[in-house]
Chain A
Amino acid sequence: MKASVSQQQLAHGLGMVSRAVSPRSTLAVLANILVATDDGRLRLSATNLELGISCWIGAQISEQGAITVPARTFSDLVNTLPNDTVHLELNPATQSLNVRCGMSNTDIKGIDAQEFPPMPTPDIQDGIHLNISDFKEMIQQVAFAASTDEARPVLQGVSMNISEDAAVLAATDGFRISVRRAALSEPVSKPVTAIVPARALTELARIATDGDQVVTMVMPPGRGQVVFHMKDAELISQLIDGNFPDYRAIIPRSFKGTTILTTNAFLKACRQAEIIARESNNVVRLSIQPGGDQPGKVEITAQSEETGSSENFVEATVEGGSLIIAFNVRFLREVLEVIKTPSVVLMTNANNTPAMIQPAGDDTFQHVIMPMHLG
């Protein structure tokens, strides 16, 4: 292999794929990045067997070939190189990669590319095309609600439901659930349901640059995998096996109280309350007070034996009676952070029943949070 690439692009590509490297694996080659010539471009790939990321960068190729090199060593080196052309050359006899740039000349010992787990090449003809920026927003609004508890693998995933003309993403950790719907610009031929690890989707949102326009999602039959293909990058993830909770059954049909708040003011109040609440299991109390003649308000209080106490008022339009309800403030903050509209609606029934948060005037995003009981 003999190829020349721009240092900037190489550094960017390495940053992208390194997230899939598994440095502590028993399989040494998984700590490496595959560097290979591929159809006129240079391909970089890393995988931890659950998640694989590849990206392609423009290159001048004078000799085909492939090698894997330790991710850490290679990235650290490339990051210190000058913004210039990097010349890569494989020495097949020693299985080492010569990296030359400006005055610098380094040989990195590698492992034969044959040992790198082969990554499937999907047939993107069969795929579902999704608009990248829409899909990224969906992921951001949903993935954070997934569980991090390894004992419940299904909840570590995001449920993807794609029917003719709509896609629905949902994630829950058992205490809250985020559901986001979106219309598809072009209808799909066959419906798809799958549970994709939240971590994979978060990585996807990170590597997908808006300029890419479309991401094509392919599920090669019988593999238990999903491939997200973009122009210059690809992410492959194992799917999660199992039954996702039926969110239609979880989301309440009606609410007695509707409170409309300014998203930013509400978020700020929650952030402040969280500073105090951190020390006391994140508990905050919302006291929803209808205003009568004046505008209503929501009082947000937190109290901690150790840290102290905090009170915050947010003006609100309150329909329905007054209510005191307690929440995990982190749950509130996390959903408010992904709401894009200036106003947000908080819907409630009682202090021991689920509450729902929605962007005002937009019912494609629903987030249900269970309250806390204070004994």
Chain B
Amino acid sequence: MSRIEILPEAVASQIAAGEVIERPASVVKELLENAIDAGATQVSIQIEQAGRRLIELSDDGAGIPPDQLRVAILRHATSKLRTTEDLFHIDTLGFRGEALASIGSVSRMKITSRQPEEAAGGRVVVEGGAVRTVESAGAPAGTVVSVEDLFYNVPARLKFLKRDLTERQQIDALVTRYALAYPHIRFKLFHDGVAALQTSGNGDRREILAAIYGVDIARQMLEISFSDENFKLEGFTSPVGLTRSNRKEITFFVNGRWVQDSSLSAALLKGYHTLLMIGRYPLAVIFIRMDPTEVDVNVHPAKAEVRFRQPEDVFGKVQRAIRRGLLAYSPPAQLVSQGWQTQLPPLNQRFISRQIDPAWKMATETQEAPAIVGPAFEEGTQKEQPALDALPAGDLPLLRLVGQVGSAYLVAEGPDGLYLIDQHAAHERVLFEKWLRQREQSVPAQALLTPQVFQVPPQISGMMTEQLPALEKIGFRVEPFGPNLFRVLAIPAIFSGADPVAAVMVAVEDFEEDETPLQTELEARLAARICKRAAVKAGSVLSTEEQKMLLQGLEACKSPRTCPHGRPTMIHLPIDLLEKQFGRRGSR
């Protein structure tokens, strides 16, 4: 065994830095929090090459006195905390005095700052943790921190960075969330000189939601507010019809700090209990303010987690606030008759609260029949596995249609018993295999009379641009139309009649952070989503003709027993099971 030695200072600080600064987005977060702590009203962020080349953040906050610049970059140097006591009621975002030191040790960092009330400012340049120069300098009021060549001296870290697109997404997701949390601050975010996000700083959160998600979604989001002694919750959450297939769009801020806490999300989801379909999650941005002594923020190096002193109490309040908010907006259960003209909202508002796709099982149903929910629908990361040929080519016997039940299932008889078929899942499978067969040639696309422009959140925008060719392969013609804007010119013919923008969104909403699978797999995955959308819904009454067509289609499938997402399309009740259940076994 080798000798134990004290690490050289530079190595030690790089290791410490690794805790705080993991990737470009962590730098942005620390700088942003410093600017907010400094009372900035405007923050402008320039990113080059997803932050590898440059991260520069300027604010108009309180500034740093020239003689303190050298101190600010030292480890454990902070102006925000004096005693251990203070640690228990932190009301600033920073408190460790570690951020600048950490960033400085793994990059070339330059801080230029002037206090508004002073004539002169100062500048400090740090390289790999070593101070290069400290000088006085003229500067606009506020602070500009520029971080170049991040991790240039830590090749191991550099290697762990994801591709630019992913790092960019992380930055975008972070900045948009802070913009929402601090609506009175004007945010500007540029990537390689192109604006990705700009907010007005007028305090209107809905306006910021619109900048991020587009006007449509922003308008639909429900405003939530709730308060009692020492606890205040406000924010937005989506109506039950507006959902995503993952929890990425659920955001919590506690005392101005973005926290990633799965129990908070779980509490929010409980608020939606029975209202959401399995595998669907709401969009939400929730801001909680509470007594700082009730929450410990000093539990995670990047401050992403907090610990509540009374977690159950907090979760309960979150759940209740959400539930109440949702109920307040849902239509009354019974219409009172007094003039039929005023009883329903106008048609175009009504669709908002409608369940977009009742074919996904309602949350309650699964609790009763968990056996039907396949592994693809496990918590959280719903990885869609288009089962190309993975499943046994379980040929179906010839089936005789008996009829439809509950506008959702077909009943059929085979030589070996009874088959209950989920019409939606079955149709999904039929469409998907049809698509697979067509793919050999080319997928026909239906052009739109007028291209439809739509907006996507900044963090999806880059991914979209990159995946346009894949989308084109499956029949979408989409082109960029400005920052975060795209327009759709044609959609796959299989979608005929659907809302083109909704169709594109179905295909892209789940772009995973690192979705760079083989092109064919990606296409299959997109196609599976599209089939899901285009398939006949549960709740539609089918004519006998249509039911027969569906059965025939299913019989022709290579993997008729599961939908493209791996869910079963049918339940088989063998004859002997029926006999056993009816107590006929052996009676013959």
Contacts and interface: CB of A to CB of B under 8 A. Distances in A.
A372 B493 CA distance: 8
Contacts of A153: 347-348, 350-351
B499 A149 contact: yes
A370 B447 contact: yes
B104 interface: no
Contact of A151 (B333, B351, B452): B351
Given A149-B499, A240-B347, A241-B348, A117 B475 contact: no
Nearest to B345: A241
A26 interface: yes
A204 B338 CA distance: 25
A117 B340 contact: yes
A154 B348 contact: yes
Contact of B337 (A117, A249, A373): A117
A253 B441 CA distance: 35
B496 A197 contact: no
A152 B339 CA distance: 26
B337 A115 contact: yes
Nearest to B474: A375
Contacts, number: 128
Contacts of B337: 27, 29, 115-117
A280 B449 CA distance: 22
Interface stretch (A90-98, A173-181, A290-298, A341-349): A173-181
Contacts of B556: 306
A52 B340 contact: yes
B496 A175 contact: yes
Contacts of B441: 375
A118 B443 CA distance: 52
A150 B349 CA distance: 11
Interface string A349-375: 000101000000000000010111111
B533 to A, nearest CB: 11
Contacts of A370: 446-449
A130 B59 CA distance: 66
B354 interface: yes
B564 interface: no
Interface residues of A, number: 56
Contacts of A116: 337
B449 A372 contact: no
Which of B333, B341, B444, B498 is the most central at the interface, judged by chain A CB atoms within 10 Å of its CB? B341
Contacts of B343: 49, 117
Which of A52, A150, A156, A223 is the most central at the interface, judged by chain B CB atoms within 10 Å of its CB? A150
A283 B444 contact: yes
Given A27-B335, A197-B347, A328-B496, A177 B442 contact: no
Interface in A249-276: 249-250
A47 interface: yes
Nearest to A371: B447
Nearest to A116: B337
Interface in A37-62: 47, 49-50, 52
B100 interface: no
Interface string B431-451: 000000110011111111110
Given A151-B351, A175-B449, A372-B447, 6 more contacts: A50-B344, A151-B498, A175-B447, A177-B449, A240-B347, A283-B444
Interface of A: 26-27, 29, 47, 49-50, 52, 115-120, 147-154, 156, 172-177, 197, 223-225, 238, 240-242, 245, 249-250, 280-283, 305-306, 326, 328, 352, 354, 368, 370-375
20 contacts: A26-B333, A26-B335, A27-B337, A117-B343, A172-B449, A176-B449, A224-B346, A245-B450, A249-B450, A281-B444, A281-B496, A328-B493, A368-B449, A372-B446, A372-B447, A373-B445, A373-B447, A375-B441, A375-B442, A375-B475
